[in-house]
Amino acid sequence: MTKTAHIEDTLREKIISAPEMILDDNDLMNALIAANEKSMGGNIVDLRGIAMERLEARLDRLEDTHRSVIAAAYENLAGTNQVHRAILRMMDPLEFETFLKDLDGEVAEILRVDAVRLVLETEQKDNDPSVRKLGDVLSVAEPGFIETYLTNGRNVPSRPVTLRQIDGTTHEIFGDKASFVRSEACLRLDLGAGRLPGMLLMGAEDPHHFSPQQGSDLLAFFGGVFERAMRRWLS
């Protein structure tokens, strides 16, 4: 004959008074279900137990999805705050030279990128002393350069925001920083009627900082504000 194990009276009373302790403990519940299956023998299929296992697996997946959604929301909020801070800093300068230098300075630091460059198309040659005075941030190019750069010379329409990885060979734009820039965000700029287009580039050393799979809404908003700021400076 076999003896049935008895629970101590104090533990039994505690479980009866607060059964949620067991119900809320996944390990204990799994142990009870396993003991119940073992007591039924190997020839009986416990459909209720199988259903519970499937529901538990589905709940785990839902919890993982929930955590991912929350993490994405926090990341998006942090990105929004970054862009807003960068825009406010960009609106502070009272001189165009300071405005440009801040792009590759405090604005780049706020956005956590390693280089920021502005490209303007012009029909004049790059021999203007005022352009050289503005340093490496501003580059001038012949008409059509920006479209070719954005499309890599292919016969396809360019997008307002292009996110991609690069191989560090774009010396004509990033200059001495080109050797370590591995991803870039290209913001095409509409500078108003009668003006040639412009382009704002953000370069990052991390090859995964900018990629085509990322959303571009915040960068598109930043580019729209930058366009309007540039129109004010060029007027």
Separation of alpha carbons 135 and 19, rounded Å = 73
Separation of alpha carbons 32 and 232, rounded Å = 72
198-204 and 183-189 beta bridge pairing? antiparallel
pTM of the model: 0.67
pLDDT tens-place string over residues 143-185: 989 999 898 878 777 788 999 998 866 667 888 888 889 999 9
Residue labelled with tokens 């005075």: 133
Mean pLDDT of 102-127: 86
Mean pLDDT over the full length of the chain: 81
Residue 136 has pLDDT above 50, yes or no: yes
Do residues 216 and 163 lie in contact, with contact meaning Cβ atoms separated by under 8 Å? yes
Enumerate the domain spans of the chain: 10-61, 69-234
What is residue 216's predicted lDDT score, i.e. its pLDDT? 86
Residue 214 has pLDDT above 50, yes or no: yes
Q: Which of 121, 182, 181, 178 is nearest to 146 (CA)?
A: 121
Do residues 90 and 225 lie in contact, with contact meaning Cβ atoms separated by under 8 Å? yes
Q: Which of 77, 99, 76, 75 is nearest to 87 (CA)?
A: 99
pLDDT tens-place string over residues 41-99: 655 556 666 677 777 778 778 887 877 777 667 677 777 888 999 999 998 888 888 89
Query: Is the sign of the CA dihedral 201, 207, 211, 216 positive or negative?
Result: negative
Has domain 69-234 been given CATH number 3.30.450.40? Answer: yes
DSSP states along the chain? --PPP---HHHHHHHHH-THHHHT-HHHHHHHHHHHHHHH-TT---HHHHHHHHHHHHHHHHHHHHHHHHHHHHHHHHHHHHHHHHHHHHT--SSHHHHHHHIIIIIHHHHT-SEEEEEEE-SS-S--HHHHHTTTSEEEE-TTHHHHHHHTT-SS---SEEEEE--S--HHHHGGGGGG--EEEEEEE---TTS--EEEEEEESSTTSS-TTS--HHHHHHHHHHHHHHHHHH-
